[in-house]
C-alpha cells in the first residue's frame, strides 16, 4: 500500500513482510525494515513498540482512502491508496471477469510510454502489454489472459482515457 502524509511531500510504501511471533511483525517502510510489537489494539487505537520505542496512536476518523490519527499526541492525516500497479492488475487481469473477455481495458488514464507486444504475438496472463504514465508514475498494463494479440488499439506516445480498450486478445 502507498501512503501520503498531509503537509509532507513524500510517498511512503508500507507493508507487513513477516509475522515474527505473537503480535510481532517485521514491517517495511520504503526501504527500511522495522520491528513492530503490538501491545494493545482496538478500533480506537493501537499501542506498540517500534524498534524499541513505545508509541500510542489513536484512530480518529477513517475512510478507505483517508485516516486521521493522533501519533503520540500529534494529529496526522494520511491518505492511502493501493499501488496503481496492483489496482490495474486486479481490475484488468485478476478480478474474475474470466478469460473469455476479448478486450483489455485501461483502468487508468495515462500516456502511452511503451508498447511491449505487437499484433499477432502470443501472450500469457500477466505479461506486460504496455506501460502507461499516470500521475508521474509508470504503470505496466498486463494481459488478463493467455492468448494471441489480435489488435492493438493504442499508439506509442498517445494518451488513453479510463476504460479505453488497449488491445484485443483472443
Partner 1 sequence: MIEKILIANRGEIALRVIKTCKALGIKTVAVYSDEDYTSLHVKHATEAYHIGEAAPAKSYLNQEKILDVMLSSGSDAVHPGYGFLSENDDFARLCEKNKINFIGPSSASMDLCGDKMKCKAAMLKAKVPTVPGSPGIVKDAEDAEKIANKIGYPVMLKSVYGGGGRGIRIVNNDLELREGYESVTRESISAVGKSAIIVEKFLEKTRHIEYQMARDTHGNSVHIFERECSIQRRNQKLIEQTPSPVVDEETRTRVGELVCKAADAVDYTNLGTAEFLRADNGEFYFIEINARLQVEHPITEFVSGLDLVKLQIDIANGEAIPFKQKDLKMNGYAIECRINAEDTFLDFAPSTGPIPDVTIPSGPGVRCDTYLYPGCTVSPFYDSLMAKLCTWGKTFEESRLRMLGALNDFYIQGVETSIPLYKTILNTDEYKNGELSTDFLKRYGIIDKLTADIKKDKETNKEVAIAAAVIHSEYYKSRVKDTPETNMHWKNQLGGS
User: Grid coordinates 498517445 are at which residue?
Assistant: 158
* Alpha-carbon span 140 to 129, nearest angstrom: 7
Single residue of 24, 26, 67, 125 touching partner 1 by CB under 8 A: 67
Give residues 22-61 in contact with partner 1 (rule: CB under 8 A): 23, 25, 27, 29, 32, 34, 36, 38, 41-44, 46, 48, 50, 55, 57-60
Single residue of 8, 146, 150, 163 touching partner 1 by CB under 8 A: 8
Give the single-character DSSP code of 106: P
* Alpha-carbon span 91 to 97, nearest angstrom: 9
Helix, strand, coil percentages, rounded to 5, for the chain: 5, 60, 35
- In the shown chain, the binding pattern of residues 75 to 94 toward partner 1, with x for contact by CB under 8 A and - for none, equals -x-x-x--------------
CB 2 within 8 A of CB 82: yes
As a whole number of Å, the end-to-end CA separation of the chain is 33
Residues near partner 1 (CB under 8 A) are 1, 3, 5-8, 10, 12, 14-16, 19, 23, 25, 27, 29, 32, 34, 36, 38, 41-44, 46, 48, 50, 55, 57-60, 62, 67, 69-74, 76, 78, 80
Amino acid at each position: 500500500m502507498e501512503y501520503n502524509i498531509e503537509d509532507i511531500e513524500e510517498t511512503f510504501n508500507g507493508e507487513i513482510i513477516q509475522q515474527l511471533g505473537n503480535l510481532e511483525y517485521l514491517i517495511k517502510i520504503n526501504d527500511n525494515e522495522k520491528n513492530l510489537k503490538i501491545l494493545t489494539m482496538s478500533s480506537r487505537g493501537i499501542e506498540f513498540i517500534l524498534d524499541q520505542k513505545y508509541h500510542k496512536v489513536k484512530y480518529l476518523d477513517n475512510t478507505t482512502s483517508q485516516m486521521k490519527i493522533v501519533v503520540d499526541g500529534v494529529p496526522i492525516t494520511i491518505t492511502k491508496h493501493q499501488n496503481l500497479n496492483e489496482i490495474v492488475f486486479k481490475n484488468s487481469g485478476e478480478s474474475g471477469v474470466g478469460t473469455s473477455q476479448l478486450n483489455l481495458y485501461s483502468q487508468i488514464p495515462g500516456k502511452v510510454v511503451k508498447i511491449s507486444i505487437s499484433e499477432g504475438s502470443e501472450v500469457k496472463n500477466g505479461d506486460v502489454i504496455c506501460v502507461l504514465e499516470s500521475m508521474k508514475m509508470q504503470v505496466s498494463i498486463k494481459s488478463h489472459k493467455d492468448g494471441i494479440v489480435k489488435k492493438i488499439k493504442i499508439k506509442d506516445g498517445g494518451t488513453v482515457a479510463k476504460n479505453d480498450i488497449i488491445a484485443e486478445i483472443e
